Amino acid sequence: MDMSLITQAIGMQSAQRQQSAELMMVKAANDMQQQAVNMLEQGLANARAMPAAGTGILVDKSA
């Protein structure tokens, strides 16, 4: 077998592995971003509304 073909095949395998690694890193980054978005959405869904102005400052113990 010609040495240039072997070298070319090895180079192609190396490039394929590098592309696979890059794809896995992009997928992992996307998953982390999606988890952050989901956490924010859950937090906003569970958040309480702000009290009206002037309320919640003093405790009325006589009530």
Q: Is 63 helix (H, G, I), strand (E, B) or coil?
A: coil
Residue segments in the chain with a per-residue pLDDT below the cut of 70 = 1, 56, 63
Amino acid at 63: A
Which pLDDT belongs to residue 10? Answer: 94
pTM value is: 0.59
Which pLDDT belongs to residue 32? Answer: 97
Distance CA 1, CA 21 (A): 30
Amino acid at 20: S
Distance CA 40, CA 45 (A): 9
Which pLDDT belongs to residue 50? Answer: 74
Which pLDDT belongs to residue 55? Answer: 73
